[in-house]
């Protein structure tokens, strides 16, 4: 009689139909597979736990980082004309924030304001120069090897989790921005537009930001989001609003901008800010020159060039030193450097849109130059680009100004609310720059770097005439050449 041990050994040694393997071999293989599965599960749980703890305050699942294509898809359409309505970011509700300092106004007075309208993006720009920083002087664009903007300021992203840092900004979670905006409270709304709502927020490190929440029920929301991220994520210029980061989580698409608290040019010319004083001529020229430098940088200093597509006074934000910050790249289109124009769906603001763009959808940097010319003339006159409350021959700003110049009444177009009027020579030169920019023939419009040079000449003429005025007690400077150039431009 065999022992139990021998019986077990015989049973384990029996050959099975599975590849003629013995029973004990199959048992060993099964145990090995089970141990491997357990090891993989433990490893997976460990990795998942590390990912959760790496999020800091956020216990939600890891958010996917989108791959932003460097090639922007352009909507190619047939020629179409402008329908007279605005389809881009349009500020509807204006609020105000506390102002710091006294603005350089013609009428100096203290200011105490609660909040200011922000159109898609806001300001707290770093003054430190970087490899992306560009500035322009009379010779055109030049790359800033060292900081041309004074001492370096601390980054607004200091103190945020390192895990979420990107090459150019910060990747925010939905919870980060909910905490920053008090769960997107209505009281934090700064402005609303066709594509989204802008909220004021405060990050965990104390930095004030503007959060643009893209509306998820708009067909172009995701495309517009990608365009903005690609267009301004790496852009650094002292006259451009800086994008700090973004959030992509589920259906949510949000952009986080630096915050500016001194309103925009439209408000200072026509809106709520006029109650605090009238922008002086010198302040207006400073704002225009900064805007021109920003556009020259976008058009001529980076590749691919960027066409803003919606230059208007409400998209020119103003800081406490009355320097301009060009905002709202929601309509920006990237152009390849070898592309002379591109057909794209007409979007923009009525009164600022170039005629060839409105009529045919032909887009290049000359479209921005036309819009800038309208802004310049708006600054000089403090008139809206289109105002149907005025007589028919005065409703369109550009056409009215051409008529006034042709009738040799250029001095009458200046903002009547200016307490100190500009000298005649500086006024005529400024008008001449504006008329060159709004030339109906796009090919005759100057490049933005040339516009920068001309505006610098306007400023120089202004200061020279002020100096003569202080020495002589009065000035009466007439420039026949300026008059002839103005008349020629008005006759176009």
Give, in order, the Cα–Cα distances in Å from 416 to each of 117, 380, 385, 425.
25, 10, 17, 17
**CA of residue 429 relative to chain centroid, distance:** 29
Token pair belonging to 206: 């104390």
Query: Highest-confidence range of 70-84, 123-137, 146-160, 339-353, by mean pLDDT?
Result: 339-353
Mean pLDDT of 275-301: 95
Looking at residue 343, its pLDDT comes to 63
In this predicted structure, the answer to whether residue 209 has a pLDDT above a threshold of 50 is: yes
Residues 368 and 356: beta-carbon distance below 8 Å: no
Q: Where is average pLDDT lowest: 60-74, 198-212, 271-285, 344-358?
A: 60-74
3-state secondary structure of 366: helix
3-state secondary structure of 217: coil
Token pair belonging to 89: 């970011």
Q: Is 310 a catalytic residue?
A: yes
Position with higher pLDDT, 171 vs 438: 438
Q: In the Cβ-directed half-sphere of 101, how many Cα atoms lie within 13 Å? A: 9
Looking at residue 74, its pLDDT comes to 34
Structure confidence by residue, pLDDT tens digits, 21-40: 888 888 888 899 999 999 99
In this predicted structure, the answer to whether residue 154 has a pLDDT above a threshold of 60 is: no
Q: Residue 168 class from Cβ within 10 Å (0-12 exposed, 13-18 middle, 19+ buried)?
A: middle
Residues 16 and 26: beta-carbon distance below 8 Å: yes
In this predicted structure, the answer to whether residue 181 has a pLDDT above a threshold of 50 is: yes
CA atoms of 374 and 386, how far apart (whole Å): 10
| pLDDT tier, 156 (very low <50, low <70, confident <90, very high otherwise) | low
Q: What angle do CA 19, 25, 28 make, to 5 degrees?
A: 130
Structure confidence by residue, pLDDT tens digits, 413-472: 999 999 999 999 999 999 999 999 999 999 999 999 999 999 999 999 898 888 887 766
Looking at residue 13, its pLDDT comes to 78
Known binding residues: 213
Q: Where is average pLDDT lowest: 191-195, 201-205, 234-238, 481-485?
A: 481-485
Structure confidence by residue, pLDDT tens digits, 387-429: 999 999 999 999 999 999 999 999 999 999 999 999 999 999 9
In this predicted structure, the answer to whether residue 480 has a pLDDT above a threshold of 80 is: no
All domains of the chain in start order, with CATH: 134-258 (3.30.200.20), 265-490 (1.10.510.10)
**Helical spans, DSSP H, in 181-280:** 221-232, 265-269
| pLDDT tier, 328 (very low <50, low <70, confident <90, very high otherwise) | confident
Residues 264 and 315: beta-carbon distance below 8 Å: yes
CA atoms of 172 and 246, how far apart (whole Å): 6
Q: What angle do CA 208, 210, 215 make, to 5 degrees?
A: 150
Looking at residue 303, its pLDDT comes to 85
Using the structure block, give the residue that is written with the tokens 């402005």. Answer: 191
Average confidence score pLDDT of the chain: 74
Position with higher pLDDT, 223 vs 186: 186
Q: In the beta sheet, which residues pair with residue 171?
A: 246
Looking at residue 164, its pLDDT comes to 54
CA atoms of 401 and 395, how far apart (whole Å): 10
Known binding residues for ATP: 213
In this predicted structure, the answer to whether residue 372 has a pLDDT above a threshold of 90 is: yes
Residues 120 and 132: beta-carbon distance below 8 Å: no
Q: Where is average pLDDT lowest: 38-42, 113-117, 383-387?
A: 113-117
Which residue among the candidates 310, 328, 368, 415 is catalytic per the annotation? 310
DSSP single-letter state for residue 320: T
- 319 backbone dihedrals φ, ψ, rounded to 5°: -90, -175
Can you list the positions of beta strands (E) in 126-216?
Answer: 134-137, 140-143, 170-171, 189-192, 196-202, 208-214
Residues 81 and 350: beta-carbon distance below 8 Å: no
| pLDDT tier, 45 (very low <50, low <70, confident <90, very high otherwise) | confident
In this predicted structure, the answer to whether residue 101 has a pLDDT above a threshold of 70 is: no
CA atoms of 412 and 490, how far apart (whole Å): 15
Q: Residue 117 class from Cβ within 10 Å (0-12 exposed, 13-18 middle, 19+ buried)?
A: buried
In this predicted structure, the answer to whether residue 71 has a pLDDT above a threshold of 50 is: no
């Amino acid at each position: 009689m065999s022992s139990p041990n021998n019986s077990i050994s015989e049973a384990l040694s029996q050959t099975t139909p599975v590849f003629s393997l013995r029973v004990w071999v199959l048992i060993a293989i099964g145990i090995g597979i089970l141990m491997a599965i357990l090891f993989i599960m433990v490893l997976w749980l460990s990795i998942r736990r590390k990912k959760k703890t790496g999020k800091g305050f956020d216990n939600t699942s890891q958010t996917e980082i989108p791959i932003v294509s460097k090639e922007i898809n352009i909507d190619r359409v047939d020629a179409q004309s402008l329908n007279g309505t605005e389809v881009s970011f349009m500020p509807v509700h204006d609020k105000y924030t506390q102002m710091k300092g006294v603005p350089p106004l013609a009428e100096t007075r203290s200011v105490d304001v609660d909040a200011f309208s922000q159109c898609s993006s806001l300001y707290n720009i770093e003054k430190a120069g970087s490899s992306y920083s560009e500035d322009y002087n009379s010779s055109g664009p030049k790359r800033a090897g060292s900081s041309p903007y004074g001492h370096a300021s601390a980054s607004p992203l200091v103190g945020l989790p390192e895990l979420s840092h990107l090459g150019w900004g910060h990747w925010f979670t939905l919870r980060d921005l909910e905490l920053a905006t008090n769960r997107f409270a209505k009281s934090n709304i700064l402005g609303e537009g066709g594509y989204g709502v802008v909220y004021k927020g405060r990050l965990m490190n104390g930095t004030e930001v503007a959060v643009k929440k893209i509306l998820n029920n708009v067909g172009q929301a995701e495309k517009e989001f990608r365009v903005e991220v690609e267009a301004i994520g790496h852009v650094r210029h002292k006259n451009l609003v800086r994008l700090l980061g973004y959030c992509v989580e589920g259906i949510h698409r949000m952009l986080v901008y630096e915050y500016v608290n001194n309103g925009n040019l439209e408000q200072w010319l026509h809106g709520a800010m006029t109650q605090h004083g009238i922008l002086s001529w010198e302040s207006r020229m400073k704002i225009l020159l900064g805007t021109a430098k920003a556009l020259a940088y976008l058009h001529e200093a980076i590749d691919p060039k960027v066409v803003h597509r919606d230059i208007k006074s409400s998209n020119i934000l103003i800081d406490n030193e009355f320097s301009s910050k060009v905002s709202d790249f929601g309509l920006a289109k990237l152009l390849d450097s070898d592309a002379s124009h591109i057909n794209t769906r007409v979007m923009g603001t009525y009164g600022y849109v170039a005629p060839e763009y409105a009529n045919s959808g032909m887009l290049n940097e000359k479209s921005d130059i036309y819009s800038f010319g309208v802004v310049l003339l708006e600054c000089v006159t403090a008139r809206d680009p289109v105002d149907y409350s005025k007589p028919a021959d005065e409703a369109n700003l550009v056409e009215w100004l051409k008529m006034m110049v042709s009738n040799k009444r250029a001095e009458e177009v200046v903002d009547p609310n200016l307490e100190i009027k500009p000298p005649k020579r500086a006024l005529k030169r400024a008008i001449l720059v504006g008329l060159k920019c709004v030339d109906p023939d796009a090919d005759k419009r100057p490049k933005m770097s040339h516009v920068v040079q001309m505006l610098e000449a306007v400023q120089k003429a202004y200061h020279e005439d002020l100096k003569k005025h202080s020495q002589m007690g009065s000035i009466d400077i007439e420039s026949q050449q300026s008059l002839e150039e103005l008349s020629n431009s008005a006759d176009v």
